[in-house]
Structure 1
Amino acid sequence: MIRRSPRVALFAASLLLTGCGGAAVTPGSTPATSHAGAPGPEVFRDVGPHQVPGVGPRTWTEVPRESRQVVLVTGRGKNSPQSTVVLYQRTGAGWRAEASWPAHNALKGWTGHHTDGDLRSPIGVFTLTDAGGLLPDPGARLPYDHSHGFSAPGTGFEGEPLTGSFDYVIAINYNRKPGTSPLDWTRPLGADRGGGIWLHVDHDGPTHGCVSIAKEHMKDLLLALDPKAHPVVVMGDRASLAR
């Protein structure tokens, strides 16, 4: 198990007061290239048949050239908390959809400039490098922090229990330091830009900023993502992603 610093412990304690990793600490981003404007590695410039469906040319230029796995999160609308997650794998014949799952995002929908407490999920392309959870590692290839810091008591926006929401977690590299536990509280863009934006277990209601899918699908995703494939999440409402 990864040893957490006092700073990480403080963040873990803050989770006791939130319904999602992004509520107490703010969401910002460490994108492959994100809408926050941070520079990223070399990216695809061709937008032909080897492009993930539903992703427009401007968004696609943010996907790193070396990425062979894309988790596409498509929101129903700019102000909707409902979305769909599709895992794509790049093959010699192009991008292939491996699975599709219903999901929740933030209560108020999506934003291209996420700030702490705005109850919107950040739009952009972000790398996926670290995982963890309250449950033991199910066999993830991403580094996995098994910790009691992922406890999630309380209730969500619709009165649903949050217990088990952080059984499995994948950190979305928005305003965080890659290569650390999802519980790490480092915020490169500043605390006002939020943080703690995760993929985690769905609690049957909107989140503070994260994206949530059913427990069995989170386990499937953890088993599928391979750091050698440089996985990224492409996330936002349908209209924003199509640009």
Structure 2
Amino acid sequence: MIEPSTAREPACAGLRIGDMAPDFTARSTTGNVRLSDFRGRWLILFSHPADFTPVCTSEFVAIAGCADEFERRDCALMALSVDSLFSHFAWLRLIRDRFDIEVRFPIVEDPTLVIGRAFGMVASQDNDSATVRTTFFIDPKGIIRAMTCYPANVGRSMPEMLRLLDALQAVDERKVLAPANWEAGDPLLAHPDASLDTVFAAKGQTDWFMQEAGPRTRK
């Protein structure tokens, strides 16, 4: 039995897929930002435990290197951590000088953990975000469509972030389903027809609930 004094709310418990992303206004490396200003396009909001850390640095180099891919999908990027704005500036300067790549998407400061707590990234009793590496995929209406949580010692996968974004956009565009290991251009699945006539008329045992909907063609 867990004593009340040691009970801890799990990260990501505050919000669920399908919830409206909490709005906020904050300082960032590109000026003041408001989450709702990104309505009308996709947004990936992701947190990192701290500036000047090896895994986070590798992630930002990788994400900045894929910035054009996210932009091609009409998806904005926004990062968040408890570090101060000036810490962010110093870290981005180091990344540019060391890795010859500029991070141009906004990095928000959250020194009081107000944003982190609102999104359920950290528990209400936490005083730092050292264990947090959370990603929210937010659609053009401001709805959270997917979430991932990683420990501080494991970095994100850029191919998986792009694959998940592609899948979310594909199922919205054509009202279909994306199967396991789906990649852009692969066949999608149609929603099953909940009809007994369809079940009995299907030629194969799985044809009534596993029908290809055809590949998605990106414009």
Under TM normalisation by the shorter chain, which class is it? under 0.3
Q: Which has the higher contact order (CA 8 A, sep 6+)?
A: 1
Higher strand share: 1
